[in-house]
């Protein structure tokens, strides 16, 4: 099936760019244009032989990109129960390279020999089984692109603008192509499903990791059976150690911690087991004193990644505003952008394929006139849900929550060109 993001540009799109071009998108290099009528000087890099092939059998980024790395927002007392964040401001497109996928560990990164690793599937099933990695590789596989977001992402904005750059406010967010076996295929293997594909006995699934935290969550089977994968590869290669090597669960759209890493056990049960990570943690205390539990889906959200805090606009003129939008409940239907603090909004272009529960790149044309501006983005997903303002979110959830902060994020552009989270 032909995908829209690979189709030729419409004449309309061409005309749009044509009109922009008439004004000149790029600040003129006219002083040097006459030089271009003479032969170009030979590049210094053409005068010397370059580095040989296979200098790095497994390649690494350019030394000029050494600042594009994962970072933590703070020093954690227990570095094995900490997180690091994806440098969203320096990334392009929609995929996250494996070296920059965010980390969140509860007991550090275990060292697991894939030859020794086993996945146990038991509980309310006909034939409990142990699966080796080789067993899993001999099952039909499936690959899909999905985002992962920690439910604590952007939690530092609950009390208003934190002053932090987008890597530290929104960087518990990544997007990869995941490859593995459908959860439903595995449950069929152990007799946990009926012939019609429904759950046979139990309505919930306990997933447990082989890390020092034995990270454990209960998941509602009927809601995830159509899409959950038990995966061994990300972006084409085997999982990275900090992302669950050799095996993890992917529950598209659900908060990050439910995508249990270093997966060693799936138990079919009839009710949630009320584990630590779904009682004292990963629940949200509301204003009325009750707690919101099992809020699995990450609601629709968006953020402008460029320009964003740390960037500085230089010459006046054309700047594209670009960022990411996503929803744990489906696809992104629309992203709107404002450059006047939310007084007026206009639609952004959505770039590339718009995939279910995956990051979507948006872009809007903007001419910076050199004045102060406040830039914002607002996502609407395929269910019709609209990303809320901070005031709307606080009205609904109060200020006790640590999790599921998805309000519209604003960046201030000063007349100096500096961009700030304020």
Is 75 one of the binding residues for a copy of itself (CB under 8 A)? no
Is 25 a binding residue for a copy of itself by CB under 8 A? The answer is: yes
* Residues in 275-294 that interact with a copy of itself by CB under 8 A: none
Nearest distance in Å: CB 74, a copy of itself? 11
d(CA 58, CA 228): 31
H or E segment and range at residue 391: helix 390-397
How does 362-390 read in b/e, with b if 16+ C-beta sit within 10 Å? bbbbbebeeeebebbbbbbbeeebbbbeb
- C-beta atoms surrounding 244 within 10 Å: 25
Q: How far is the CB of 166 from a copy of itself (least distance, A)?
A: 15
Residues 62, 386: Cα–Cα separation, whole Å: 39
Q: Pairing between strand 284-285 and 248-250?
A: unpaired
Which has the closest alpha carbon to 184: 164, 198, 170? Answer: 198
What would the two tokens of residue 315 be?
């010459």
Q: By CB under 8 A, tell whether 192 contacts a copy of itself.
A: no
Residue 96 touches a copy of itself, criterion: CB under 8 A: yes
89-97, 293-301, 386-394, 401-409 -> range binding a copy of itself (CB under 8 A):
89-97
Length of the chain: 422
Distance CA 63, CA 59 (A): 12
> Binding a copy of itself by CB under 8 A: which of 124, 131, 166, 296?
131
- Quick count: other Cβ atoms within 10 Å of Cβ 305? 24
**Stretch near a copy of itself under the rule CB under 8 A, chosen from 236-244, 283-291, 339-347, 397-405:** 236-244
**Least CB distance from residue 205 to a copy of itself, whole Å?**
16
Q: Which two tokens stand for residue 274?
A: 């009320």
The span of 1-9, 154-162, 290-298, 335-343 binding a copy of itself (CB under 8 A) equals 1-9
- In whole angstroms, give the CA distance from residue 157 to residue 408: 10
Q: Which residue, 263, 302, 78, 52, is CA-closest to 173?
A: 302
Task: Kindly tell me which of 187 and 393 has the beta carbon lying closer to a copy of itself.
Answer: 187
Choice between 306 and 397, CB closer to a copy of itself: 306
Q: Which stretch binds a copy of itself (CB under 8 A): 207-215, 283-291, 394-402, 413-421?
A: 207-215
**What is the smallest separation between the CB atom of 161 and a copy of itself, expressed in angstroms?**
26
Residue 110 binds to a copy of itself (criterion: CB under 8 A): yes
Nearer to a copy of itself, 127 or 293 (CB): 127
The answer to whether 386 contacts a copy of itself (rule: CB under 8 A) is no
Whether the CB-CB separation of 147 and 175 falls below 8 Å is answered with yes
CB of 339 to a copy of itself, least distance (A): 16
Q: How far is the CB of 257 from a copy of itself (least distance, A)?
A: 15
* Residue 139 sits in the site that holds a copy of itself (CB under 8 A): yes
- Options 154, 162, 229, 242; binder of a copy of itself; rule CB under 8 A: 242
Compute how many residues bind a copy of itself; rule: CB under 8 A.
156
Among 233, 269, 286, 386, binds a copy of itself (CB under 8 A): 233
Retrieve residue 10's tokens: 């419409």
| Minimum distance, C-beta of residue 12 to a copy of itself, in the bound complex (Å) | 11
Hey, which residues between 296 and 335 contact a copy of itself (CB under 8 A)? 314, 317-320, 322, 331
What's the start-to-end Cα distance of the chain, in Å? Answer: 45
340 binds a copy of itself (CB under 8 A): no
Q: Identify whether the C-beta of residue 386 lies closer than 8 Å to the C-beta of residue 407.
A: no
């Amino acid at each position: 099936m032909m995908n829209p993001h690979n189709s030729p540009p419409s004449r309309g799109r061409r005309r749009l760019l044509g009109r922009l071009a008439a004004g000149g998108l790029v600040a003129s290099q006219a002083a040097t244009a006459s030089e271009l009528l003479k032969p170009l000087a030979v590049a210094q890099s053409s005068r010397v032989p370059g580095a040989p092939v296979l200098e790095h059998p497994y390649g690494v980024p350019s030394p000029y990109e050494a600042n594009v790395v994962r970072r933590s927002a703070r020093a954690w007392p227990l570095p094995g129960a900490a997180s690091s964040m994806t440098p969203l401001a320096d990334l392009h497109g929609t995929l996250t390279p494996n070296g920059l996928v965010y980390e969140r560990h509860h007991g550090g990164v275990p060292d697991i020999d894939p030859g020794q690793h086993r996945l146990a599937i038991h509980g309310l099933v006909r034939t409990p089984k142990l699966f080796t990695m080789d067993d899993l590789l001999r099952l039909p596989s499936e690959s899909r692109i999905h985002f992962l977001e920690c439910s604590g992402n952007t939690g530092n904005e609950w009390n208003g603008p934190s002053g932090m750059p987008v890597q530290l406010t929104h960087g518990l967010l990544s997007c990869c192509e995941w490859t593995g076996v459908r959860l439903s295929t595995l449950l069929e293997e152990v007799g946990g499903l009926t012939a019609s594909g429904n759950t046979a006995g139990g309505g919930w699934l306990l997933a447990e990791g082989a890390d020092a935290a034995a990270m454990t969550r209960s998941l509602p089977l009927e809601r995830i059976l159509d899409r959950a994968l038990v995966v061994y590869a990300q972006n084409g290669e085997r999982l990275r150690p900090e992302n669950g090597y050799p095996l993890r669960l992917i529950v598209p759209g659900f908060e990050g911690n439910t995508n249990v890493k270093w997966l060693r056990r799936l138990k079919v049960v009839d009710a949630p087991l009320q584990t630590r990570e779904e009682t004292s943690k990963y629940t949200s205390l509301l204003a009325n004193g009750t707690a919101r539990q099992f809020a699995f889906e990450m609601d629709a959200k968006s953020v402008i990644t460029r320009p964003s805090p740390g960037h500085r606009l230089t010459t006046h003129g054309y700047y594209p505003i670009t960022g990411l939008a996503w929803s744990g409940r489906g696809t992104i239907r629309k992203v709107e952008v404002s450059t006047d603090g939310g007084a007026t909004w206009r639609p952004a272009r959505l770039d590339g394929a718009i995939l279910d529960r995956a990051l979507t790149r948006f872009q809007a044309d903007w001419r910076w006139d050199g004045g102060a501006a406040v830039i914002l983005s607002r996502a609407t997903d395929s269910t019709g849900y609209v990303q809320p303002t901070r005031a709307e979110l606080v009205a609904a959830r109060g200020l006790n929550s640590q999790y599921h902060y998805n309000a519209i994020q604003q960046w201030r552009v000063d007349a100096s060109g500096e961009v700030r989270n304020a």
